[in-house]
Structure 1
Amino acid sequence: MTDIADIADKVQGVLDRSVAELGVTGIIAHVQDESETWFGSAGVADLETGQRRGPADRFLIGSGGKAFTSATILQLAAEGNLSLDDPVERWLPGVSRNGNDGSKITVRQLINHTSGLWVTGFDADLVRSFHTRAGFAQNRHRVWTVDELLDFALSQPPIFEPGTNFAYTNGAYHLAGAVIEKATGNAYEDEVERTVIKPLGLSGTYARPLAEAGIRAPYTKTYSRMFIRDDVDPGSLTQENWESTLQGPETDAVDVTDSTSFGWSAGNVVSTTPDLLRFTGAMISGSLLAPAWHREMWTTNPTRNWIPHTRYGTGVSEWELADGTTQRAVVGMSNGAATITMGTPDGRRMVSMNVNCDWGWLPAFSAIMEAVFGSPFLRQQ
């Protein structure tokens, strides 16, 4: 395997080009193998001050938080607090509504996205309230309750019978978070701290409560341009057309750092690249979970209408690079940021990448993958 010193210049070149050619605000990459680490950055953490990005900077990891929720569920199963085969109705009586049958949906199906619950991300009211410039300005500090999140997750009929297909939806993970609270009697955030963060010594990581805005210092500011255009009917959005409805890179970026999130157990964990390397390394190696639960986490299903060339386990995913090799990943986007932490299946080579904006991230990360693993993710057209 190539030494990190031999790829550092290549990775730094990608970081520099990502700022110069893709216009990202700031980008970092933290590379690790069995004997050494390397950290590189380009761009800024704050457009006003010009402050550089550093390895201690915290950022919201978006759907990467699902891996923390999944690990917590698996740890609770190992402790005997719940079973993955438990019907959701056992822990959340009354969830059977609008055709969703809590007696047929299992805890396992919540965390591997085979529950059949509808895809909440394309709800017209949600898009109008949070993914347009005017809506975000009005609602950036709205505080959701857990009951509201559960009602939202169950507000539409199922899209398939539980266990028969794959659909990536935050609503399933909101139910998983509620199961954690019911099974333990503790707050979701406290159980993530107890079962995952403390055992792994993740000093820069925390699960942010629903009512908390912003990110605890030290942090990088985050910027968004990816709002829906004013001439678009939010009710017309689909998986196939949503990218074409976004405003372009010529629009002014909005500082979205000071805002709350409805992500909760589906995506409200804050972390750093050193912590994500340690966490993802533990998920890949099985050093946190006992063998049976580690195998459960990496029992993957092919994805549909998600990221192409991927398979999904429970909160984690496998990515097939352009050369056919497979890497393991914890991945997430949040409002104004994108983060991927990826490693070889044996965990011997890893990289954690973050941009503090929501544009240009995929080609940038694909090029970093090529520098680190020898192949990009994006295929030649």
Structure 2
Amino acid sequence: MTHDIREEVQQILDRAVAEDGIPGIVAEVRNADGTWFGTAGVADLTTGHRRKPGEYLHIGSSGKAFTAATLLALAAEGRLSLEDPVNRWLPGVMDAGGYDGDKITIRHLLNHTSGLFLTGLAPELQQSIVTQPARVWTTSDLLRLAVSQPPVGEPGVDFVYANGGYYLAGAIIEQVTGNSYAAEVERTVIRPLGLTSTYVRPATDTGYPDPHPRAYVANILMDGVDPASLTPENYASLVEHSDLPPIDSTELNTSWGWAAGGVVSTTGDLSRFLKAIATGSLLPPAQHRQMWTMVSSGSVVWLPHARYGLGVIEFDSAATDGLNLRGVSGTLPGSFTLALTTDDGLQSVVVHATIEPRTLDIPIKIIKAVYGVTLG
């Protein structure tokens, strides 16, 4: 690895802490010259302990790729098809919200074209995170949440990022196999790849194994805003970034993530997982192609020029000078993850911050430093 890449990425990390208020941030870069791990800030604002390799990290929506890979593995085993309608496996579950479970397929759930609403901003969920941070969400709770608002489109048409689709996908995994979602992710993904520091976080967990960084939040509701009033349309206008010291959210219960974002991993394990799904070494060719069949996300996916597959993102090659750049990303209160690799798996970067960045500048600058491409 050239000294220039190391130096440039380290400068970006340092500025993220000094100028953007990130408590702690790391980047693991791998290429033909080896592996380099850069860090800035601290893992714990109270103790001042530094961040280090091997930390257990909640990877948020990056976990959707684990769910998609599990379903694709079941498809390869002949136990289901991505064209199966939801009603085949979960009859009647979608009826309560006015959805047609005979028309919505597993594929629609995984690429966010099901017509389900933007579950992450459901008022009930937002209110719960603020006022009941220890609440344990059951599978029944999540399936009910997934259809708690009317459809926003027809199946197979528009991209709308819906965690609810992945709640349904997790329930389908359990219905098809008779095993828990966590057990099937372990069987089909974690064990085959030897991801010894990766697991699906149990619903009742309120901590992480050591070593791990603390998680912090700075985005707060404006004074006088009722969490129950939040909608996808007004959310951005009702939340502000506080200049007060960040709030420690490490013990937040994240059972509402589940199959939409319930995986804990490390930078090393996540790099290995991404290489396997990007190159096709985990799934058979037919399922590998399906995972990387992309749909346009319009302006919804937060990184410019990114399209969405089955739990994964891929950049439009016209914006990357022909480089096929694939990855996963996720955020949740107190954790931000971005993992990218070339489609041959030879050049990768995994970034993790202990607070959600205020802007896109940090990931865009890191992409430019590692891959030499400018997104905009």
The verdict on a shared fold, with TM-score over 0.5 as the criterion, is yes
What SS is found at the alignment partner of 1:67?
helix
Please tell me whether the aligned partners of residues 109 and 115 of structure 1 are also in contact (alpha carbons under 8 angstroms).
yes
Cα distance in 1 between the residues matched to 2:344 and 2:122: 39
The whole-number CA distance in structure 1 between the counterparts of 2:41 and 2:289 is: 39
CA distance in 1, matches of 2:103, 2:136: 31
1:275-294, aligned counterparts within 5 Å? 275-294=269-288
Bigger Cα displacement from structure 2, 305-314 vs 231-240: 231-240
Residue number in structure 2 paired with 1:298: 292
CA distance in 2, matches of 1:294, 1:40: 31
Aligned equivalent of 1:178, options 171, 194, 199: 171
Aligned twin of 2:315: 319
Other-structure match for 1:220 = 213
Identify which range, 331-340 or 225-234, moves more after superposition: 225-234
- Selected match of 1:152 from 130, 145, 151: 145
Name the structure 2 match of 1:372. 370
Distance in 1 (alpha carbons) for counterparts of 2:100 and 2:19: 49
Gaps of 5+ in 1: none
Q: State the match for 1:166 in structure 2.
A: 159
| 1:166 to partner: Cα distance | 1.1
Kindly state the Cα deviation for residue 239 of structure 1 after the two structures are TM-superposed.
4.6
Partner of 2:150, secondary structure, is coil
Q: In structure 1, how many angstroms separate the alpha carbons of the residues matched to 2:124 and 2:181?
A: 27
Kept in 2: contact 1:321–1:376 (CA 8 A): no
**1:53-89 deviations in Å (ceiling 9; x for gaps):** 1111011000000000000000011011211111111
Deviation sequence 1:137-174 (CA, Å, 0-9, x none): xx111101101100111122211111122111100000
Deviation of the 1:300 alpha carbon: 0.3
Mark the CA change 1:128 to 1:322 in structure 2 (over 3 Å): closer, same or farther.
farther
Give the structure-1-normalised TM-score.
Answer: 0.92
Q: Distance in 1 between matches of 2:264 and 2:360?
A: 21
- The answer as to whether partners of 1:227 and 1:247 remain within 8 angstroms in 2 is yes
- Using the size of structure 2 for normalisation, the TM-score is 0.94
Give the alignment of 1:191-206 within 5 angstroms: 191-206=184-199
Match of 2:117 in 1: 118
Structure 2: runs of 5+ lacking an equivalent:
none
Q: Taking structure 1 as reference, are residues 290 and 90 closer, same or farther at Cα in structure 2, changes over 3 Å only?
A: same
Aligned residues: 370
Query: After alignment, is 252-261 or 191-200 more displaced?
Result: 252-261
The alpha carbon displacement at 1:269 in A equals 0.3
3-state SS of the aligned residue for 1:116?
Answer: coil
User: By how many angstroms is 1:320 displaced?
Assistant: 4.5
- CA shift, 1:367, in A, is 1.3
Deviation, 1:128, is 2.4
RMSD (CA atoms): 1.8
The structure-2 alpha-carbon separation of the partners of 1:285 and 1:349, relative to structure 1 and needing over 3 Å to count, comes to: same
Q: CA deviation at 1:346?
A: 2.6
State the partner residue of 1:353: 351
Percent of residue pairs bearing the same amino acid type: 49
